[in-house]
Structure 1
Amino acid sequence: MNRPDGDRGGPGGLEKKSSHTADLPAARSSALANRLPRLLAALCDRLPEDRLTIVEQVLAATANPQDPLLSRFIADQPAAGLAPQLSEIMRAWSAEAPLMTGQGIALALATARSFPRPRPAQVAVSGPMSASTPARLTSGVAVEVIRSARTSLLIASFAAHGARNVVAEIERAVDRGVRVDLLLEESTQASTAFAALPDHVHIWHRTGTAGVLHAKLIAADRHTALLGSANLTDRALSDNIELGVVLRDPHVVESLVDHFRWLLVPENQIMRPA
């Protein structure tokens, strides 16, 4: 049985099929096609919302990934590893979506930022910062976590001295109605660093002499917590070689908060008001 010309496997049929597909771009591998979205999502995981908003504004003002404005912005980023991360996004933009404007990339970043999803743990360091892993300075992360609190702040530190930015951010939290509990080691006179805070800030010391309070924790509500080696001192937050991690998984943070709240229960006779 003869088939219509369009169905033939001969030269005529091939030529007809070719005429419909000649202008289509070659298919990319799935790994390459998903690279730009993954990089934008990773940037959302790293930066706080106010910093992401700035990146979006810069992107929206650029015409393409080669725009000098964008190059200058990337070169000015002081955070370790951030400039290479942004440069990688620009390379993926150029390779995968060269016709998309900066406004389009900014919209994609804003969409990724607004999409609710679990956020991974984030590294915080003090002292010298390398580009080997995305990390942020402990002093800035501590302020950011305190600023995110809406109902309660639970802070523990073995020592405290100076740390004016942290103290000022705690005072702002108190002004917006946040309950603040400071668990401090009495033997280091850590409470003197917070003497200027309002009287209704709750300061706690450990009862008895068996051991000391050595934990370092800043927990905002029950959603975000900074754990690490750094005390609330100027040197520990910026100059010492310290390591910490920010947790944003409420299930994990809730268990931490519940443990420290249990320590404060008077019947347990572990902590007492200062």
Structure 2
Amino acid sequence: MTGRLPALLAALGRRLPSERLADLVHHLNAAEGPDSPLLDRWSAGHPAAGLSVHLSMLRKAWRDESPQLPGAALALSLATAAAAEEGMDPPAELVVSGPTSPAIPVRLTSGIAVDVIRSARESLLIASFAAYGITEIVAELRAAAERNVRIDLLLEESTAAARAFSPLGEQVRIWHRTDGADHTSLHAKVIAADRHTALLGSANLTGRGLSRNVELGVILHDSRTVGRLVDHLRWLTGPDGLLRRA
């Protein structure tokens, strides 16, 4: 295989959870070529954000570059790449707010948050229950918007978290719970850059949460795990999710 096809296969393998990956391998094994209706049905049954687009790109590269290859060849490549990654421990780092200790090497939440935002090249997905006193974060988001990063903020409406980001105006998209989600609250705390890095933890986007409160978190660099997280957050903002544009 040459051209874009190997890279698209590898990226799809990293993106899919193991059960979906096994199902796709099964369908590829039965597909005679890129135009097989089996793949249309598989795509229709897996509506995760952007997945059908990714599969369409894969099928186009297959059609353009190696149409003679049977689906079984792609299935074997996909399964082999997934098996190679299974033995790798996803890299992760611990992060803290408040006092540090000599027990384990950690990084401070405030600095990590800035690093993750700066690492984004295409998109940022940020969720927080509360937000205030974060001048530096707002400045970093403005800089990200100016380099054409798409920014979505998933915020709890009852805490008026959106006010902290009002200086950004239309440079960001803000999402709140739908009217039908009155008995829930948006309590997640996440900063996800593209599909490669995510900061998860107990800290809200507040000055105290990022620096003085005793908070714990983890930063993930595993694109497969981060990709699943991004897909879930995107689903929350989709037609079947619990969030609406503010």
**Fold-level match, TM-score > 0.5?**
yes
Kindly state the Cα deviation for residue 198 of structure 1 after the two structures are TM-superposed.
Answer: 3.5
Residue matched to 1:23: none
Kindly state the Cα deviation for residue 200 of structure 1 after the two structures are TM-superposed.
Answer: 3.5
Find the partner of 1:231 among 204, 214, 221.
204
- 1:255 aligned partner, one-letter code: R
Query: Compared with structure 1, are the counterparts of its residues 258 and 242 closer, same or farther at alpha carbon in structure 2 (3 Å cutoff)?
Result: same
Residue matched to 1:268: 240
Find the partner of 2:139 among 147, 168, 172.
168
Find the partner of 1:213 among 177, 180, 186.
186
Find the partner of 2:224 among 251, 269, 273.
251
TM-score (norm: length of structure 1) = 0.56
Residue matched to 1:136: 107
Contact 1:118-1:248 within 8 A present in 2 as well? no
Contact 2:131-2:206 within 8 A present in 1 as well? yes
SS in 1 for 2:171: coil
- 1:121 aligned partner, one-letter code: A
Cα distance in 2, alignment partners of residues 119 and 142 from structure 1: 20
Kindly state the Cα deviation for residue 166 of structure 1 after the two structures are TM-superposed.
Answer: 1.0
Find the partner of 2:166 among 195, 198, 212.
195
TM-score (norm: length of structure 2) = 0.62
- 1:268 aligned partner, one-letter code: D
Kindly state the Cα deviation for residue 119 of structure 1 after the two structures are TM-superposed.
Answer: 6.2
Cα distance in 2, alignment partners of residues 199 and 186 from structure 1: 18
- 1:143 aligned partner, one-letter code: V
Find the partner of 2:127 among 156, 166, 170.
156
Find the partner of 2:94 among 104, 123, 134.
123
Residue matched to 1:28: none
Cα distance in 1, alignment partners of residues 241 and 220 from structure 2: 29
- 1:235 aligned partner, one-letter code: R
Cα distance in 1, alignment partners of residues 113 and 123 from structure 2: 15
Contact 2:235-2:241 within 8 A present in 1 as well? no
- 1:140 aligned partner, one-letter code: G
Cα distance in 2, alignment partners of residues 187 and 196 from structure 1: 20
Could you tell me which runs of 5 or more consecutive residues in structure 2 were left unpaired when the two chains were aligned: 1-87
Q: Deviations over 1:11-62 (max 9, x none)?
A: xxxxxxxxxxxxxxxxxxxxxxxxxxxxxxxxxxxxxxxxxxxxxxxxxxxx
Cα distance in 1, alignment partners of residues 193 and 241 from structure 2: 25
Cα distance in 1, alignment partners of residues 134 and 241 from structure 2: 30
Cα distance in 1, alignment partners of residues 89 and 122 from structure 2: 21
- 1:169 aligned partner, one-letter code: E
- 1:272 aligned partner, one-letter code: R
Find the partner of 2:157 among 159, 167, 186.
186
Percent identity for Structure 1 against Structure 2: 61
Q: Deviations over 1:115-141 (max 9, x none)?
A: xx9761000000011121010110000
Cα distance in 1, alignment partners of residues 193 and 135 from structure 2: 19
- 1:200 aligned partner, one-letter code: Q
Bigger relative contact order (CA 8 A; separation at least 6): 2
Could you tell me which runs of 5 or more consecutive residues in structure 1 were left unpaired when the two chains were aligned: 1-116
SS in 2 for 1:167: helix
Contact 1:155-1:181 within 8 A present in 2 as well? yes
Contact 2:142-2:171 within 8 A present in 1 as well? no
* Structure with max Cα Rg: 1
Kindly state the Cα deviation for residue 229 of structure 1 after the two structures are TM-superposed.
Answer: 0.2
